[in-house]
Structure 1
Amino acid sequence: MVVALGPGSVDKPDAKVAMSTPMPNQPVDKGGTVTLNTVEGGGGGIFGGPNGR
């Protein structure tokens, strides 16, 4: 899961993760992928809760 993170996630795991990593339509990862959750609305990934918009 954390492996999916791209460059920049280590520095700022807030919104940078979304920009560095591609965000395809993957509704399946609605509680596992940190990147997708951070972009789409958070609430599942590690950085998905507060940082999610």
Structure 2
Amino acid sequence: MYPSIGDGVTIYAGATVAGALTIGEGCVIGSGALIIRSMSPGAVARAPLASVDADAI
């Protein structure tokens, strides 16, 4: 299965999105982040094993 990537998502170089998950609209995934769970719209993920900040935007 492949991930579902919403509109306006930014994924920086070296990030990994693994599995059948959903990346919500407007999310930002930082360089080197490892995403193994779905992300709510507007969330920001930072490396290494992503900590997600849903209130960043």
TM bin, normalised by shorter chain, reads under 0.3
**Which structure shows the bigger proportion of residues in helix conformation?**
1
Q: Determine which structure has more spread, i.e. the larger CA radius of gyration.
A: 2
Q: Structure 2 length normalisation: TM-score?
A: 0.22
Structure with more of its chain in strand, by fraction: 2
